[in-house]
Amino acid sequence: MKAAHMNLSQLESFVAVADTGSFTEAAYAINLTQSAVSHALAALENELGVTLLERNRKGLVAITNAGEKILPHVRALLTQAEAIAQEAKMAAGMAVGKLRVGNTLCLCPGLLASVLTHFQRQYPDIEVILFEGTMQEVALWVEESIIDVGFVPLPADRSDNTLITTDELVVVVAPGHPLLGQAAVGGDDLNDQNFIMAKSECSFQMMEMTGMDSEQAHRAIRYQASDSATILAMVREGLGITLLPRMMLPANLDGVVAIRLDPPPQLPIGLAIRSQTASPAAKLFTQTALAWTQAQGSHSG
């Protein structure tokens, strides 16, 4: 029983099932028959000698421990397969393929939009697929080959990072707030304030950049909302103050006032990719983002 080689198709099936949680959906997602997926997984499991998925003729398949261990490797393998195809097309002069980009909602949405616009114009044949998640998720996704490139706040210890830009954190308060009377607002002035922040880990990071420690930050948060408009509305009502990257401020902030801090905390934002094994599209994206940064720099300089 000389085991035949495992197959890219089988691996794709496995990932698809793991992602969709269903053989039928997986089959649809990768343009195959449900039967094909079933056969593929049976063959794969047979060859590996391990059960990858706990079947359940009802609709939900659970991944086994073994499957959980193997899945990241499969993802990494398929990512390389895509990279190979892309490199080949690049060598033939065309920039095509898929690029999975991760972004954190609470990091300046305008940055992603600008870079994306430039990128799409420059490489119209690269299909961009967007993923949204927390900073931690985005960083993890890059490592696990779920996405090819992601915006993360630096310094990120894992993976390869290139600094794209920094964004200044500002305090937003209601008109007539006591802080407005001060000549300069430092980190200490924020300690006894009520904060309204986004429901994200990244809120704490931002607060700690003003000089608070983790515990203070947790205590200081009075309300948490998921949308920035909601947060600003609450600030307008005088329920508290908030801390935002400058780029997240709306064009006209009616009813609220932004105050710069002294010293101004700079949130560094970078792009994470898998250093050596990045796909060409991912490298192109990084280049585009860097070029955009420099263009911005020269505009304002």
Tell me which residue of 153, 121, 120 sits closest to 139, measured CA to CA: 153
49 binding partner (options a copy of itself, DNA, none; Cβ < 5 to 8 Å by kind): a copy of itself
Q: Which of 11, 18, 32, 209 contacts DNA by CB under 7 A?
A: 32
Q: Which of 19, 24, 95, 134 contacts DNA by CB under 7 A?
A: 24
- Containing 102, the helix (H) or strand (E) segment is strand 97-104
Determine phi and psi for 85, rounding to 5 degrees: -60, -40
What mask of x and - would describe binding to a copy of itself in positions 44 to 63, judged by CB under 8 A? ----xxx-------------
What CA–CA distances, in Å, run from 297 to 50, 108, 152? 54, 17, 20
Instruction: Select from 37-45, 74-82, 175-183, 275-283 the region that touches DNA (CB under 7 A).
Output: 37-45
Q: What is the CA radius of gyration of the chain?
A: 23
Distance CA 138, CA 124 (A): 24
Q: Which of 1, 5, 254, 298 contacts a copy of itself by CB under 8 A?
A: 5
48 binding partner (options a copy of itself, DNA, none; Cβ < 5 to 8 Å by kind): a copy of itself
- Containing 193, the helix (H) or strand (E) segment is none
The least CB distance from residue 163 to a copy of itself, in Å, is 16
40 interacts with DNA by CB under 7 A: yes
What mask of x and - would describe binding to a copy of itself in positions 157 to 176, judged by CB under 8 A? -x------------------
What CA–CA distances, in Å, run from 121 to 22, 124, 127, 187? 37, 6, 12, 42
Strand boundaries in 7-84, DSSP class E: 53-54, 62-63
Q: Which is nearer to a copy of itself, 90 or 233 (CB)?
A: 90
Q: By rule CB under 8 A, what count of residues binds a copy of itself?
A: 35
Q: Which is nearer to a copy of itself, 147 or 190 (CB)?
A: 147
Tell me which residue of 184, 216, 192 sits closest to 203, measured CA to CA: 216
Q: Which is nearer to DNA, 10 or 161 (CB)?
A: 10
3-state secondary structure of 61: coil
DSSP 265: P
Determine phi and psi for 98, rounding to 5 degrees: -110, 145
154 interacts with a copy of itself by CB under 8 A: no
What residues make contact with a copy of itself under the rule CB under 8 A? Answer: 5-9, 48-50, 65-66, 69-70, 72-74, 76-77, 80-81, 83-85, 87-92, 143-144, 158, 275-277, 280
What residues make contact with DNA under the rule CB under 7 A? Answer: 4-5, 7, 9-10, 22-25, 31-36, 38-43, 55-59, 61
